[in-house]
Amino acid sequence: MKNLFEKQVSSGNIDRVTNRLYNLMLFSIGALVFSNIFWVVWQWQVSKDADQKVYVRSGKSLFSANLESSSDSRNIYQARGLIETFTELLFENNAENYRERLNAALTLITAKDGQAIVRGFNAEKVLENHVKYNSFSRLQVDSISINMNIIPYQCTVLMQQIIVYDGKEVANPIGAKFDLIPALYSDENPFGMLITNFNYITYQAIVKP
């Protein structure tokens, strides 16, 4: 009888220990699941907040603004800011800042289109002419057209590059059509878009009398 009683007591203790271990295991699993859910929700919120930060152009500077929640936070102000920044970097330069500004512009366009622009500049000897004639250029944007009703966004820009040398000014009309595609935000590209399918078009500026 004593051995049977001791066996029953020992068996009861084992059952209690087993139940406690089982409950502890369930609690640990629950805590792990909860922490994973919390981390996923937190990461999603951080990503959403970061995507809602846009950079709006005001004169020569950029400032950030928070957009209302939407499926795509990119808006026409970002698109215009990207186009204005890109064209100024590309077509306003001199012998000293040519390479620096060109490299900055290339971060706002796809590699394929950027390489095509560089080949064109090299063929036209832009840098060599700046050095030879001690010239510089500034940009006058005449119009920017952006269609954001379709993706990729379709854009047209008409502008005049004013080349200054030897006390003279020569206007070089430039037209371009291209698309804008979504891209990751970065310090180099705070607009969240890239220029692609860049092509020059004929533009004859109206000369004011």
Per-residue pLDDT of the chain (209 residues; tens, 9 = 90+): 445 444 444 555 556 656 666 666 666 666 555 555 554 344 444 444 444 444 444 333 333 333 333 456 789 999 999 999 999 999 999 999 999 999 999 999 999 999 999 999 999 999 999 999 999 999 999 999 999 999 899 999 999 999 999 989 999 999 999 999 999 999 999 999 999 999 999 998 776 55
Q: What is the pTM of this model?
A: 0.66
CB-CB neighbours of 145 under 10 Å: 11
Picking from 185, 151, 172, the residue whose alpha carbon sits closest to that of residue 82 is: 185
* Coil/strand/helix, residue 112: helix
In eight-state DSSP terms, residue 207 is P
In eight-state DSSP terms, residue 8 is H
Take residue 110 and report the two structure tokens written for it. 């796809």
Domain ranges of the chain: 1-51, 52-201
Q: For residue 85, give the H/E element and its range.
A: helix 76-91
Q: Alpha-carbon distance 173 to 140, whole Å?
A: 9
CB-CB neighbours of 123 under 10 Å: 8
pLDDT of residue 113: 98
Residues 52-201: name the CATH superfamily.
VirB8 protein (3.10.450.230)
Q: How many CA atoms lie within 13 A of 163 on its CB side?
A: 13
Q: Alpha-carbon distance 117 to 103, whole Å?
A: 11
Q: Alpha-carbon distance 146 to 156, whole Å?
A: 7
